[in-house]
Structure 1
Amino acid sequence: MAAKLRKAIRKNLFVIITLVLSAGILLYFLFTTDGIVALGEIVLKLKPQWLFLSILSAVLCWVLEGFVLNLLCIHLYPQWRFGRSFSVGMIGFLYSAVTPFSTGGQPMQIYTMRKMGMDTGKAGSIIAVKTLTYQVVMVLYSLVLVAMKLHFFQTSVSNFSFVTIIGLITNSTFIVLVMLFMISEMTTDKIVKTVIRFLHYLKLCRHPEERYARIHNQLEIFHDASKLMGKSTRLYVVVMSVTVVQITLNSLIPYFIYRSFNMNAAPITTMVAAQAFVAMVSAFVPLPGASGGAEGSFYIFFGMFFKSAIIPAILLWRIITYYFNILFGGIFAYVAEKKYNDPIVSEPNE
């Protein structure tokens, strides 16, 4: 029994360290401020219907993740079923939550789809297209919100313009490079090489050849994916539309938590914008689950709304948007391994 326990701990050591780190940050906030006192006061006045809506929004985000994946999967494999796609989506949430820069989600999704019988190249194409469409929608979504709420956050959040502009430029540059690579691989190569040489000249890039190879390989993945998936405009429009709904639901979670605290002064659009900015800032944090960065950015953007209740708000928000992903992602990873260990037998669309 002890040997099995030690083996399980060694196997999941990284996940355990991640959870301990994130939980430690939350406990630090609670016990080094008045957070624990505020939490006790809020629990007595909590409005359960609004808290239920915040949890429901998170669950619907999971469902829509599976739905989008299923749309892309059945485009290549008509007999693919939603249950498989939902499990793959939850596995993505799980491993994105426990790996630095959320880098483990997509490879584990491809690995899982391969075990379910999907061709590795086609699985990679589906995940690549899903990732790209999400990034495109997220950047456009953030641009609209920046245009709507720029003045408010500029006057309310210190260094807001710097953080937002860096985030938008970084994400937009990657998307533009991918799009350009799909149109002209030669032109993109020249641009990437020129930029890397310039950065190397400024002593900002120590190994230009290795950096170019990594960028080129990543761009090629999206290029190959676009050829495999084809040019189905209707499919991409539906996928992007559903992604807009998914991002909106995720951005509504802090507002529902806010209302569950019996607060109602802040406009819903402003809080949705704040959550979009939190998501963008958190993406720069290299720790698993953006630990520290997620809590810090939430504190910066939402402190003006929650005031003395900000620490309990962070606690509830992280439980719903992070710890639930790990808990239920782990459950569905186990279910997928047991239930979908029989590879699909249908031939993919060509």
Structure 2
Amino acid sequence: MNKRKLIGNIIFGLVVTIVLLIIIFSLNDIDDIFNVIKGANIWFLLLAILFMLIHTFLTSVTFVIVKTGLPTELTFIDTLIVGKMEYLFNAITPFSSGSQPIQTYYFNKLGANYEEATSISLSNFIVYQVTLTIFSTVGMIMYFSKIYEVASHYMWIIVVGYIMNTLMLTLMILIGTVPGIKKVIKAFFRLIGKIKPFNKKMTELEGKTDDFVYKFQRDIKSLFKRKRVLLGTTAIRIVDLIIFNAIPIVLFYAFGIRVSFSDYLYIIMMSAFAQTMMLWVPTPGASGGVEWAYTVLFTAFASTSVIVSSMLLWRFITFYLGMLIGLAAYLFVKKRGRKYENRSVY
């Protein structure tokens, strides 16, 4: 991603944020929200930030584990830092889809050959998507009646979001396991390409299909052959999801909401569910959809002003703080990568 496009995406993300805040404050009492936030317990807020920092560390560790056993020159630190870049590039691209190409590029620049770099990025992405979808599915099954109770009027949006996310995962599995799937994908691109405005882009995508499917299937096979890597990354992802999605619990305590132990699992599952079911929203980081889902799913725990206040802090800690961490990682890696400027990408 070139500098101009990066800056453009960041500016667009900021505009979306400003519009979102205007909408939120127009629908709620600003004074109530600020009073609630000012009264928050600082120690619980710091604990929530600590949970986020642990989350960023654990997600980066999964890249290190995937790298294990590959004959790559990537160092432990470089792998960790490149892993953290996902918080920036997923945040500024629609459908949270932008980190894998840029991470692959810098893994390559910092010591991995192109095959190793794509394997590290794609394998980690596959494990994360599968784990998160299973996590959300379990939550959907366990708490369907409770979700319906608090969000009956919006159930169709929730179901559509869940189905779309599940279909995306199913497509990933088909691409990774069915040899003839590339013919279906190319036929789809040709069909869409008959619409004149999409012709050029669809032709370009069709030309890249064979190479993409080959690499994807290669990395799937490699991942499943390395069972320790698969189990290790999956276990860490599960622990990471629990810690990351427990942040709303900590924020509830910061606002004086006493949550019963029996509700802990519901909050953790619904926090994950709020993100997965809104990934289809075509804004940077699914902004707008995620915030809406959070307020709807947790509305039963406190007054609207308290839930909206916790949502704003939750989004700042889990999204905007993550962006800053990702930006710092990107600037560090970009500087480190200059010593490899003449390195071949193959």
Report the TM range for the smaller structure's normalisation. 0.7 to 0.9
Q: Which residue of 1 aligns with 2:275?
A: 279
- Whole-angstrom distance in 2 between the partners of 1:33 and 1:163: 23
Q: Which residue of 2 aligns with 1:324?
A: 321
- Whole-angstrom distance in 1 between the partners of 2:247 and 2:69: 31
CA-to-aligned-CA distance 1:252-311 (integer Å, 9 cap, x gap) = 111111111010146112211221221112201111122222222222222222323122
- Whole-angstrom distance in 2 between the partners of 1:182 and 1:32: 45
Question: Which one of 261, 265, 272 corresponds to residue 269 of structure 1?
Answer: 265
- Whole-angstrom distance in 1 between the partners of 2:159 and 2:309: 29
**Amino acid of the structure 2 residue aligned with 1:40:** N
- Asked if residue 93 in structure 1 is aligned to residue 87 in structure 2, the reply is yes
TM-score by length of 2: 0.83
> Secondary structure of the equivalent of 1:101?
coil
- Whole-angstrom distance in 1 between the partners of 2:226 and 2:20: 45
**Amino acid of the structure 2 residue aligned with 1:149:** Y
% of aligned pairs identical?
Answer: 24
CA contact (8 A) 1:72 1:126 kept: yes
Question: Which one of 103, 114, 120 corresponds to residue 108 of structure 2?
Answer: 114
- Whole-angstrom distance in 1 between the partners of 2:27 and 2:155: 30
- Whole-angstrom distance in 2 between the partners of 1:87 and 1:157: 39
CA contact (8 A) 1:47 1:261 kept: yes
- Whole-angstrom distance in 1 between the partners of 2:269 and 2:73: 39
CA contact (8 A) 1:39 1:309 kept: no
CA contact (8 A) 1:178 1:219 kept: no
**Amino acid of the structure 2 residue aligned with 1:39:** F
Range with bigger deviation, 311-320 or 25-34: 25-34
- Asked if residue 40 in structure 1 is aligned to residue 23 in structure 2, the reply is no
Pairing of 1:335-346 with structure 2 (within 5 A):
335-339=332-336, 341-342=338-339
**Amino acid of the structure 1 residue aligned with 2:249:** Y
How big is the shift at 1:337? 2.6
CA contact (8 A) 1:135 1:171 kept: no
**Amino acid of the structure 2 residue aligned with 1:313:** S
Q: Which residue of 1 aligns with 2:50?
A: 56
| Structure 1 vs Structure 2 CA RMSD | 3.1
Question: Which one of 235, 238, 246 corresponds to residue 241 of structure 1?
Answer: 235
Given the superposition, is the C-alpha separation of residues 184 and 332 from structure 1 closer, same or farther in structure 2, using an over 3 Å criterion? closer
> Secondary structure of the equivalent of 2:301?
helix
- Whole-angstrom distance in 1 between the partners of 2:7 and 2:205: 34
- Whole-angstrom distance in 2 between the partners of 1:228 and 1:172: 24
How big is the shift at 1:75? 2.5
Which runs of no fewer than 5 residues in structure 2 stay unpaired?
A: 341-346
Q: Which residue of 1 aligns with 2:298?
A: 302
> Secondary structure of the equivalent of 1:76?
coil
- Whole-angstrom distance in 2 between the partners of 1:97 and 1:274: 20
CA contact (8 A) 1:50 1:259 kept: yes
TM-score by length of 1: 0.82
> Secondary structure of the equivalent of 2:285?
helix
- Whole-angstrom distance in 1 between the partners of 2:155 and 2:185: 27
CA contact (8 A) 2:72 2:113 kept: no
- Asked if residue 30 in structure 1 is aligned to residue 41 in structure 2, the reply is no
> Secondary structure of the equivalent of 1:290?
coil
Q: Which residue of 2 aligns with 1:179?
A: 173
How big is the shift at 1:236? 0.1
Question: Which one of 122, 133, 141 corresponds to residue 128 of structure 1?
Answer: 122
> Secondary structure of the equivalent of 1:102?
coil
- Whole-angstrom distance in 1 between the partners of 2:212 and 2:152: 35
> Secondary structure of the equivalent of 2:63?
helix
Given the superposition, is the C-alpha separation of residues 41 and 254 from structure 1 closer, same or farther in structure 2, using an over 3 Å criterion? closer
- Whole-angstrom distance in 2 between the partners of 1:193 and 1:13: 31
Given the superposition, is the C-alpha separation of residues 179 and 24 from structure 1 closer, same or farther in structure 2, using an over 3 Å criterion? closer
**Amino acid of the structure 2 residue aligned with 1:96:** N
> Secondary structure of the equivalent of 2:164?
helix
Q: Matched residue pairs, number?
A: 328
CA contact (8 A) 1:64 1:246 kept: yes
- Whole-angstrom distance in 2 between the partners of 1:254 and 1:280: 16
CA contact (8 A) 2:148 2:155 kept: yes
CA-to-aligned-CA distance 1:170-211 (integer Å, 9 cap, x gap) = 33334344434444413x4577689x59x98xx9xx98x869
How big is the shift at 1:103? 2.2
Given the superposition, is the C-alpha separation of residues 341 and 70 from structure 1 closer, same or farther in structure 2, using an over 3 Å criterion? farther
Q: Which residue of 2 aligns with 1:155?
A: 149
Given the superposition, is the C-alpha separation of residues 269 and 224 from structure 1 closer, same or farther in structure 2, using an over 3 Å criterion? same
**Amino acid of the structure 2 residue aligned with 1:315:** L
- Whole-angstrom distance in 2 between the partners of 1:258 and 1:220: 47
Question: Which one of 233, 251, 256 corresponds to residue 257 of structure 1?
Answer: 251
